[in-house]
C-alpha cells in the first residue's frame, strides 16, 4: 500500500467540486447508507466528468430495503455485504457493487481492550487506507452530547477530542482525510475533525472498502 501524504490531506480538497449532503441522516437513522453515498461519490470521482448525483429517493429506498421497512439503524458489516453481493441504485444506475471489504480493524491498541489485538491498525495504516482506498468507513459509538439536532457539537470548529464521556450513540461516518490532530470525516452534511485519541476511544472498528468495476 503506498505511503499516504503527510498531514494535512483530504480527498475533497485534492479533488474539489464535491458538495456535502446529509442524505436524510438528519431525519433517519441511515448513517450507514449516508456513508455509502459519500463513499460512492468519491470512489467514482473522475476529474472533468460529472459527479454522481445521488437522490434522497435512492437513499430512502436503500435504507428502507436494508432496514426491512423499519425505522432503526442498520448493521454496517451486513450492509457492506449487501453492497458487495447485490449492489444498489445510485445516480440512476442500478447494481453498483464494491469488489469487497475487510474489517473491522480496531485502531492503535484499541484491539487489546477488546481482546483481539490481531486486527489492530496503527494511525499510519488508517491514513494509508484513507489515501489509497479513497476513504475508510468508521463504526463509532459517540457520546450522548453529540447530537444531530445540535450543530454546536459537530462540524467545522467543533473538534471531537473529549474522551471522558461514555459511549452512547451508534454512528458510522466516512473518513476522507486527516490533519495534525487526527482523522477527518463527514457526518450530518459537514466535515468533522477528531483526535486520534477520540477515534481510539469511541471507534468500534474501521472498514477498508475495495472499489469494483461497477461501483
Query: Could you tell me which CATH number the domain at 9-211 has?
Result: 3.90.70.10
- Among 211, 183, 189, 186, CA closest to 80: 211
96 neighbors 209 (Cβ within 8 angstroms)? no
pLDDT for the residue numbered 155: 97
Element (DSSP H or E) covering residue 40 = helix 31-43
pLDDT for the residue numbered 74: 93
How far is the CA of 111 from the CAs of 18, 106, 114, 121, 128, in angstroms?
34, 5, 5, 9, 19
pLDDT for the residue numbered 38: 98
190 neighbors 154 (Cβ within 8 angstroms)? yes
- How much is the pTM? 0.94
pLDDT tens string, the chain, 215 residues long: the values are 567 889 999 999 999 999 999 999 999 999 999 999 999 999 999 999 999 999 999 999 999 999 986 667 899 999 999 999 999 999 999 999 999 999 999 897 765 555 566 688 999 999 999 999 999 999 999 999 999 999 999 999 999 999 999 999 999 999 999 999 999 999 999 999 999 999 999 999 999 999 999 99
pLDDT for the residue numbered 68: 84
Q: Which residues contact 74 (CB under 8 A, 6 or more apart)?
A: 29, 30, 32, 33, 63, 66, 67
pLDDT for the residue numbered 1: 58
In DSSP terms, 214 is beta-bridged to none
pLDDT for the residue numbered 119: 81
pLDDT for the residue numbered 4: 84
pLDDT for the residue numbered 120: 87
Return the DSSP state at 149: T
Beta strand pairing call for 169-178 and 183-187: antiparallel
- Among 181, 184, 201, 200, CA closest to 192: 184
- Among 54, 79, 55, CA closest to 65: 79
For residues 139 and 189, give the distance between their C-alpha atoms in angstroms, rounded to a whole number.
17
Amino acid at each position: 500500500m503506498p505511503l499516504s501524504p503527510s498531514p494535512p490531506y483530504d480527498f475533497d480538497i485534492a479533488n474539489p467540486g464535491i458538495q456535502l449532503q446529509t442524505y436524510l441522516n438528519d431525519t433517519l437513522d441511515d448513517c450507514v447508507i449516508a456513508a455509502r453515498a459519500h463513499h460512492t461519490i468519491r470512489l467514482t470521482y473522475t476529474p472533468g466528468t460529472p459527479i454522481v448525483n445521488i437522490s434522497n429517493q435512492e437513499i430512502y429506498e436503500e435504507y428502507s430495503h436494508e432496514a426491512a421497512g423499519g425505522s432503526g439503524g442498520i448493521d454496517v458489516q451486513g450492509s457492506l455485504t449487501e453492497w458487495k453481493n447485490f449492489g444498489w441504485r445510485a445516480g440512476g444506475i442500478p447494481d453498483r457493487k464494491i469488489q469487497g471489504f475487510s474489517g473491522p480493524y480496531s485502531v492503535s491498541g484499541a484491539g487489546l481492550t477488546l481482546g483481539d489485538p490481531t486486527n489492530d491498525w496503527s494511525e499510519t495504516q488508517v491514513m494509508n487506507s484513507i489515501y489509497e482506498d479513497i476513504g475508510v468507513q468508521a463504526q463509532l459509538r459517540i457520546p450522548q452530547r453529540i447530537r444531530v439536532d445540535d450543530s454546536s457539537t459537530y462540524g467545522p470548529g467543533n473538534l471531537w477530542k473529549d474522551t471522558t464521556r461514555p459511549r452512547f450513540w451508534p454512528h458510522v461516518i466516512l473518513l476522507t482525510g486527516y490533519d495534525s490532530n487526527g482523522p477527518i470525516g463527514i457526518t450530518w452534511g459537514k466535515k468533522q475533525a477528531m483526535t486520534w485519541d477520540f477515534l481510539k476511544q469511541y471507534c468500534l472498528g474501521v472498514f477498508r472498502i475495495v472499489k469494483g468495476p461497477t461501483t
